Structure 1
């Protein structure tokens, strides 16, 4: 795990440097210097993991991300999953991945989780799943809320990517660890509230030009509202179901 992970870290630093990306970190001291913790990250695009991982690296730690199992079919991604300790999650049968995550937390590792499960097309926080809270409670470790803002400008759903030397700024805000206490639903609500406050903080000094697709509607942009994004998500799920059914009929 370590050699591949180290190579990835070097590559991540090189890629962000080549792109001219300036990442601003706030609250890095909230990432535990040792011991297990769930790192809960908002999900606005395909590259949220990168600034989050670099934030953790600044604390001399590494994070094991939970990633959807379908990505294993991509050759290079599958290789990285197998050699970096990434936890592949089968959404139809996630118990195995959940058990691996809990064991990793108990062993003192940081596990990166997206409580929203899927990318937010509105760039606002979606409703949270309770998985992050449940694994924190079972492993008896805290949850560290972490917000990434700006990476969605590089690559997100429904829009062309902006890879290359674009010099897009990214803000990362890390909140105080939340003790794993109380029922999972209540802990999830506390987590979402903490991440909402962090999101406001990360957006506060970030320029948001009116009308841009990556700017939330409440900040003057043209991103879908939460309701509109929900309808787009439903349409996407329906289309996936249709394709699966069609595939079964043609076998």
Structure 2
């Protein structure tokens, strides 16, 4: 593994955080993370800090993963960290440029992390997937590695009080076999079919991650389907729309003040 000082320091900090919180990380399928060559690492998204577990998985296979992150973060200390960790800024107004940067990174042999759900799932079930991960894989010829994380939502997620202390929470990570994707011209039917396969694989992995995990009835971080009080996927969709509307209204007010 090529040494990257900033990534090395951040990895040490992550290990320190895990030790301080007493997290019990259980990983199955680590052998599916390729030690060389490009790959799309597709991960479910339930927590603000689940990127730390993703980085840990990469390092255990001798890889520094490349995150796709919001372009608006590319300033100050976060922007400096993104630059030195080779993160790929995603600007939704100029999505084609971010996409091309990701495809180039894959062709250069990097592991690019993609959250196909795009945003945190309030229901803690898999949301509908965007097709970006599939399109990147098809165009670059890199495999997709499906991965799910379960338990990270107990630490810090939307609408639930943070639990950042020494909590000893178990974190289950399940990694599936890579989905081979020969390089080809990207078509909508091919991208949709691959996205559907990825969703099925990740749903199976999420079920595996939940097996053996204590799920207290009524707990806010447990899906309604499993007896918890988390919003149903339908209710979560409504909450997501309301949040988006509030953000847009706030942005419009800010634009009006600065006009």
Give the distance between the partners of 2:126 and 2:17, measured in 1 at CA: 27
TM-score (norm 1): 0.96
Structure-1 residue corresponding to 2:85: 84
Structure-2 residue corresponding to 1:120: 121
Deviates more, 1:56-65 or 1:131-140: 56-65
Structure-1 residue corresponding to 2:107: 106
Unaligned runs of 5+ in 2: 183-188
Structure-1 residue corresponding to 2:211: 204
Cα shift at 1:131: 0.3
Residue 190 of structure 2 corresponds to residue 190 of structure 1 = no
Give the distance between the partners of 1:19 and 1:79, measured in 2 at CA: 27
Give the distance between the partners of 2:253 and 2:15, measured in 1 at CA: 43
Cα shift at 1:70: 2.3
SS at match of 2:57: helix
Structure-2 residue corresponding to 1:60: 62
Unaligned runs of 5+ in 1: none
CA contact (8 A) 1:52 1:172 kept: no
Structure-1 residue corresponding to 2:50: 48
Listed one character per residue, the Cα deviations across residues 107-154 of structure 1 (whole Å, up to 9, x for unaligned) are: 111000000000000000000000000011111010000101111110
Give 2:250's match in structure 1, choosing from 235, 240, 243. Answer: 243
Cα shift at 1:96: 1.4
Give the distance between the partners of 1:39 and 1:61, measured in 2 at CA: 12
TM-score (norm 2): 0.94
Give the distance between the partners of 1:12 and 1:244, measured in 2 at CA: 33
RMSD: 1.2
Residue 38 of structure 2 corresponds to residue 6 of structure 1 = no
Q: Where does structure 1 differ by over 3 angstroms across 4 or more consecutive aligned residues?
A: none
Listed one character per residue, the Cα deviations across residues 169-227 of structure 1 (whole Å, up to 9, x for unaligned) are: 10000000012257101000000000000000000111100111100001110000000
Deviates more, 1:237-246 or 1:42-51: 237-246
Cα shift at 1:97: 1.3
Give the distance between the partners of 2:129 and 2:200, measured in 1 at CA: 11
Structure-2 residue corresponding to 1:173: 174
Residue 73 of structure 2 corresponds to residue 71 of structure 1 = yes
Q: How many residues align?
A: 250
Structure-1 residue corresponding to 2:227: 220
Structure-1 residue corresponding to 2:236: 229
CA contact (8 A) 1:42 1:125 kept: yes
